[in-house]
């Protein structure tokens, strides 16, 4: 049956406030494990961390792991590993209001390129058996997902994006969340939405979370009056991340290597100079062919009157100097992709003489339901070329690395191809060659999409 929306019906299609309501106490912790999530805290080829939540009655948590096999009696081949528990007491925190236990197990001594099954619980209350695969020890092909801000309409609308992303790339090895996972850093309901939207995917597809400005909010009414903001009270309890970044930025600035790619997560909220020195050391001594950096505030803003000049002046020279391949960002609730001009931009024909040289490719994207207008001037006032943009569109991105080639695709929540390009790099430390692969999909803007209330 064909469904046709009239203009009037379309204008009513996304009301404010959010039209998904939850009963009192929804999302509260219990003895049953929930919010199960995989993250990297060490070498992804040899270790894997899992974190989960319960109420405070669970004081003897357990985690079991086995080589994955086709026989159903996984418990017979499983071994137990030590579990650490932390107490998250948010009863005095604005919008948190709950005390809960978070438990973390880090499986170590694993074999590279191997599939494992695991479960977590307390001996009585168990999760299902979930599976993951370790990274290979060397350079091998792999795919990962990248999404911009989830933030609003998380359960209602972001759920379809992360699920469509997994359907599109079922062999993805991890997913980068480029900040603003929720709108209110400490809000238990919003975090419950985020975990429910991803569901079991969080327990099988490792997350690489980035802090955004909405991950920093006042803890108390006094903090609110004084303008003080703190990192989400849940963040370090529910995400077990590498602590290899600059001091004071534990688990918000970190790095890991994955099958020939160096992944670097930066915290654009604070200590930017301190991160510059750390970033320089990571890029200068990088043994990998490919380098991907992710943070929240864009180098080249894509909406409103926003501009992050200080960040651009501080970090961008390092991206260009060391030939960083991809910079993945969020914050601006639009889509933009392009490259900086670090070379003559006109040959008299209107075509850049070094168009095939990639430089660093900068991307801004959004996956949630909150949308902005694209900056009216585009990137005209920047030393960069905007090559693809979109408004009012939920998107996810896949990045596939296969030796000398990197394939990038941006896809709408409805599974429609929207943007694509390819990078080719023969040797590490060299600038990649760029090939446009943009599909014929018309540019999406507010005027040709279902109207969005602002």
| Comparison of pLDDT for 26 and 2, the residue scoring more | 26
pLDDT of residue 17: 63
Q: pTM, whole model, 2 decimals?
A: 0.94
Residue 9: pLDDT over 80: no
Contact 152, 18 (CB under 8 A): yes
Contact 318, 354 (CB under 8 A): no
Per-residue pLDDT, averaged over 93-121, amounts to 97
Q: What 3-state class would DSSP assign to 377? A: coil
pLDDT band at 354 (very low <50, low <70, confident <90, very high): very low
Residue 92: pLDDT over 60: yes
Residue 332: pLDDT over 50: yes
In angstroms, the Cα distances linking 277 to 169, 176, 286 are: 35, 23, 14
Residue 344: pLDDT over 50: no
Per-residue pLDDT, averaged over 233-262, amounts to 98
- Give 15-37 as a 3 state SS string: CCCCCCCCCCCCCCCCCCCEEEE
pLDDT of residue 350: 43
pLDDT of residue 358: 76
Q: Where are the alpha helices (DSSP H) in 204-327?
A: 221-226, 235-238, 272-284, 309-321
pLDDT band at 15 (very low <50, low <70, confident <90, very high): very low
Token pair listed for 72: 């159903």
Angle (CA) 301-411-36 rounded to 5° is 90
**Tally of helices (H runs) and strands (E runs) in the chain:** 8, 24
Residue range 198-242, pLDDT digits in tens = 999 999 999 999 999 999 999 999 999 999 999 999 999 999 999
Per-residue pLDDT, averaged over 57-77, amounts to 98
| Comparison of pLDDT for 195 and 11, the residue scoring more | 195
Mutual angle of helices 159-168 and 188-198, in 10-degree steps: 30
pLDDT of residue 24: 87
CA dihedral 12, 17, 22, 27 (to 10 degrees): 130
Contact 164, 395 (CB under 8 A): no
pLDDT of residue 426: 85
Write down all domains in the chain, each with its CATH number in brackets. Answer: 34-133 (2.60.40.380), 142-448 (3.60.21.10)
Start-to-end CA distance of the chain, whole Å, equals: 31
pLDDT band at 355 (very low <50, low <70, confident <90, very high): low
Cα–Cα distance, 234 to 180 (Å, whole number): 14
Q: Which residues pair with 216 in a beta bridge?
A: 231
pLDDT band at 342 (very low <50, low <70, confident <90, very high): low
pLDDT of residue 172: 98
Give the highest mean pLDDT range of 343-347, 372-376, 450-454: 372-376
Based on the number of CB atoms within 10 Å of its own CB, is 264 exposed (0-12), middle (13-18) or buried (19 or more)? buried
Per-residue pLDDT, averaged over 343-358, amounts to 49
pLDDT of residue 18: 67
pLDDT of residue 257: 98
Per-residue pLDDT, averaged over 99-116, amounts to 98
Residue 12: pLDDT over 70: no
Residue range 158-167, pLDDT digits in tens = 999 999 999 9
pLDDT of residue 356: 65
Residue 3: pLDDT over 90: no
Token pair listed for 91: 């009863």
Residue range 263-314, pLDDT digits in tens = 999 999 999 999 999 999 999 989 999 999 999 999 999 998 999 999 999 9
Cα–Cα distance, 345 to 339 (Å, whole number): 12
């Amino acid at each position: 049956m064909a469904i046709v929306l009239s203009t009037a019906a379309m204008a009513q299609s996304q009301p404010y406030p959010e039209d998904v309501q939850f009963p009192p106490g929804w999302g509260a912790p219990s003895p049953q494990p929930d919010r199960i999530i995989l993250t990297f805290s060490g070498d992804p080829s040899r270790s894997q961390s899992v974190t989960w939540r319960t109420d405070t009655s669970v004081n003897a948590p357990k985690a079991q792991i086995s080589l994955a096999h086709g026989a159903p009696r996984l418990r017979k081949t499983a071994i137990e590993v030590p579990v650490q528990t932390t107490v998250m007491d948010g009863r005095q925190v604005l919008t948190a209001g709950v005390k809960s236990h978070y438990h973390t197990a880090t499986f170590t001594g694993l074999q590279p390129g191997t599939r494992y099954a695991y479960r977590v619980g307390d001996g009585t209350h168990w999760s299902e058996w979930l599976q993951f695969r370790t990274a290979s020890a060397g350079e091998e092909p792999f795919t990962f997902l990248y999404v911009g801000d989830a933030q609003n309409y998380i359960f209602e609308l972001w759920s379809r994006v992360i699920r469509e992303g997994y359907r599109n790339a079922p062999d993805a090895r991890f997913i980068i969340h480029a900040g603003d996972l929720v709108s209110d850093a400490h809000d238990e309901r919003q975090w419950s939405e985020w975990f429910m939207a991803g569901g079991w995917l969080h327990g099988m597809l490792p997350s690489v979370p980035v802090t955004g400005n909405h991950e920093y909010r006042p803890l108390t009414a006094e903090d609110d009056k004084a303008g003080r903001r703190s990192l989400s009270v849940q963040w370090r309890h529910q995400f077990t991340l590498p602590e290899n970044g600059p001091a004071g930025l534990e688990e918000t600035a970190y790095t890991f290597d994955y099958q020939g790619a160096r992944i670097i997560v930066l915290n654009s909220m604070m200590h930017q100079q301190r991160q510059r020195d750390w970033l320089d050391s990571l890029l200068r001594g990088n043994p990998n062919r490919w380098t991907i950096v992710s943070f929240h505030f864009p180098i080249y803003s894509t909406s409103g009157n926003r501009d992050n000049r200080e960040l651009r002046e501080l970090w961008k020279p390092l991206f260009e100097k060391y030939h960083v391949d991809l910079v993945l960002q969020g914050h601006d609730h639009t889509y933009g992709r392009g490259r900086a001009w670090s070379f003559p931009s006109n040959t008299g024909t209107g075509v850049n003489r070094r168009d095939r040289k990639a430089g660093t490719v900068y991307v801004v994207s959004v996956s949630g339901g909150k949308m902005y207008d694209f900056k009216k001037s585009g990137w005209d006032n920047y030393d960069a070329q905007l090559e693809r943009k979109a408004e009012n569109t939920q998107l996810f991105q896949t990045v596939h690395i296969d030796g000398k080639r990197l394939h990038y695709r941006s896809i709408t929540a409805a599974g429609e191809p929207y943007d694509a390009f390819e990078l080719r790099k023969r040797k590490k430390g060299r600038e990649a060659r760029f090939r446009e692969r943009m599909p014929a999909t018309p540019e999406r803007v507010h005027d040709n999409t279902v109207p969005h209330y602002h």
